[in-house]
């Protein structure tokens, strides 16, 4: 393993990604200033995604494709599988990766440098969303962090995350010891952010973007744009899914500073629960009206 450059284990979760994964893998392989290994877990797919990944692995020794055939049913469980099954203990950093984005050539080096300079435990950043029709939109997540924001939101898209090994090994232990419960958490990027922050670890959110965030009809999450996305989020609130997720994450990270099951506690601490003012207002309204 190259010790003259930061060593990064890239964990890539894929599913029916044949249309985009070739471009993504090429962008990862172009990363400057780091030594990297790419570990790919392909959810049981109906296209040629797995074969494309295997072909890349045959041509590039730094790519490993994990055993194929399991049905995970979502990106989160696929990432948990990667964290559980990949031995990344000898690396300096772990980076998460989606199948359909495009990384700028200095994405990983920028993150590793920021982590080293600021003594941070984790890095994430803004992204430039882009659509097939040429529309582009900067997604700004680099707002001042709040005391308990980690209980209600992620640090941004998980595909921007670069994480130090020591806390990731602790997170791996949590996954191994609570495997069944962990699979109930639907948003892996939020869960990881919550774990790090609950441990008192510092997290840097970069205002610069180093990733082109592809938007298309099959995005599992995307940027939640438009009335249809708003309606979907409202239904998740109404059926209790959102509160269930908050309570589940708080339980897994052993959160004891805030009673997330209490509407009164939410209302009293609203200024510390979301980074964006608009989102704090929405959360306040949700708690006040009993939707939470």
Bridge partners of 9, per DSSP, are 37, 94
For the stretch 127-132, contacts whose Cβ atoms lie closer than 8 Å and that sit 24 or more positions apart, written own/partner, are 127/101, 127/156, 127/157, 127/159, 127/160, 127/209, 127/211, 127/212, 127/213, 128/209, 128/211, 128/212, 128/213, 129/213, 129/214, 129/215, 129/223, 130/212, 130/213, 130/214, 130/215, 131/215, 131/216, 132/216
Q: Cα separation of 226 and 52, whole Å?
A: 33
Q: What angle in degrees, to the nearest 10, is found between the helix axes of 165-177 and 75-85?
A: 110
pLDDT at 240: 84
Contact 146, 270 (CB under 8 A): no
pLDDT in tens, 100-158: 999 999 999 999 999 999 889 999 999 999 999 999 999 999 999 999 999 999 999 99
**Phi, psi dihedral angles at 275 (to 5 degrees):** -80, -35
Whole-prediction pTM: 0.94
- Residue 231 pLDDT greater than 80, yes or no: no
pLDDT reported for residue 2:
66
Which residue segments constitute the domains of the chain, with CATH numbers given? 7-223 (3.90.550.10)
Q: Return the structure tokens found at 218.
A: 């099959």
- At 291 the pLDDT is 87
Q: What pLDDT, on a 0 to 100 scale, did the predictor assign at position 184?
A: 97
Per-residue model confidence (pLDDT) at position 227: 47
Average pLDDT, the chain: 93
The model's pLDDT over 179-191, given as tens digits with 9 standing for 90+, comes to 999 999 999 999 9
């Amino acid at each position: 393993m190259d010790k003259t450059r930061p060593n990064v284990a890239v964990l890539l979760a894929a599913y029916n990604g044949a249309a985009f994964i070739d471009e993504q893998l090429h962008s990862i392989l172009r990363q400057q200033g780091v030594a990297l290994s790419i570990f790919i877990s392909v959810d049981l797919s109906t296209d040629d995604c797995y074969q494309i990944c295997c072909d890349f692995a045959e041509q590039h020794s730094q790519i490993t494709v994990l055993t194929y055939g399991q049905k995970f049913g979502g990106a989160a469980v696929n990432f948990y599988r990667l964290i559980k099954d990949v031995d990344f203990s000898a690396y300096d950093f772990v980076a998460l990766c989606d199948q359909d984005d495009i990384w700028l050539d200095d994405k990983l080096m920028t993150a590793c440098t920021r982590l080293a300079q600021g003594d941070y435990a984790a890095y994430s950043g803004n992204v430039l969303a882009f659509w097939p029709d040429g529309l582009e939109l900067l997604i700004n997540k680099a707002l001042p962090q709040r005391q308990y924001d980690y209980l209600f939101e992620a640090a941004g898209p998980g595909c921007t995350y670069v994480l130090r090994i020591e806390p990731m090994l602790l997170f791996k232990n949590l996954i191994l010891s609570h495997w069944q419960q962990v699979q109930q958490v639907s948003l892996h990027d939020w869960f990881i952010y919550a774990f790090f922050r609950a441990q008192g670890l510092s997290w840097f959110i970069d205002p610069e973007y180093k990733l082109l965030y592809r938007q298309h009809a099959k995005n599992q999450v995307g940027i939640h744009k438009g009335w249809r996305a708003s309606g979907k989020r409202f239904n998740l609130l109404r059926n209790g899914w959102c509160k269930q997720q908050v309570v589940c994450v708080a339980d897994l990270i052993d959160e004891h500073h805030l009673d997330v099951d209490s509407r009164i506690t939410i209302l009293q601490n609203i200024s510390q629960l979301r980074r964006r003012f608009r989102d704090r207002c929405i959360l306040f309204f949700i708690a006040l009206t009993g939707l939470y």
